[in-house]
Amino acid sequence: MTTLITGSTGFVGRRLVNTLQSLGRPVRAAVRAPDASLQVPQVVVPSPGTTIDAWRPLVKGCDTVVHLLARAHVMQDEAPDPLAAFRLVNTEMTKACAAAAAAEGVRRFVFVSSIGVQGNATTTRPIEAQDPLVPHSPYAQSKAEAELALRQLAQAESMEWTVVRPPLVYGPQAPGNMRSLMRALHRHLPLPLACVTDNRRSLVALDNLVDLLITCLDHPAAANQAFLVSDGEDLSTAALLRRLGHAMGHPARLLPVPNGLLWAGARLLGKGDMAQRLLGSLQVDIDHTRRTLGWTPPVSVDEGLRRAAEGFQA
């Protein structure tokens, strides 16, 4: 049966479409505009704020949906009300797509959320899938609201739901912070992060995330569950930069600046969020995912970094 993928021209969506196609699985790509590089049937995504009926032709005849469409990676948000802007796309469009899917008899709706719905930092232990939702930003708030709405709708309509909450995703053509780090390493820029060795960050390679999403489409135990995902190896910022630099063939130039000075300087410049991403810890526990689905990340961190570096340099 056909799988509809929204956000199919994005970083994750494009790889998911191509992987499913290579496996011989029928795919329908929901796009904002026709994309000749996607060699699958395409449907155009309705505008934000449109009714459920506008979504029904997109999901008609589909057995499963993977909903990746989102407003994300907005570094300098110029929206007068950022939360409202995130809700319009991340919450309301998710609700409309899910309602249309339920009305058309879709069996399972897989929603790609974010680890941000459970916070942006860890101290004593990694985040677990059953921990409460404590979104830390307008983006995370909109994703948390979409999760709750999906669960309620799916339960009322007897449609299976699955939620996947990734941390930072890296791979070829990665957007956001990972691209910035690769650009800095490529330019041999000195980075004052040699002392950032005590933090731990969970990451997930693009191919590991795609593998889990494909698993969640059909695995019986994935129904009505939320899963965390990572590579299964957490790294300090300094270790990540050194291993990424090795993968790129551009050894990281790290300067030994004390963490306290970095934190103080970041707060003084109003860059506390950036400091948290570089200096703080954010770990996820994927034991629930492993046990429930019998899933193991197929790609190691070093192989994932090699693929990311290869894509960046290409």
Residues 6 or more apart in contact with residue 18 via CB below 8 angstroms? none
Query: Among this protein's residues, is 139 annotated catalytic?
Result: yes
Kindly name the residue from 139, 161, 170, 295 that is annotated as catalytic: 139
d(CA 19, CA 36): 17
Q: Which of 234, 165, 231, 242 has its CA nearest to residue 199?
A: 234
d(CA 111, CA 238): 32
Contact present, 84 and 21 (Cβ < 8 Å):
no
Q: Which of 230, 249, 246, 229 has its CA nearest to residue 238?
A: 246
Catalytic residues: 139
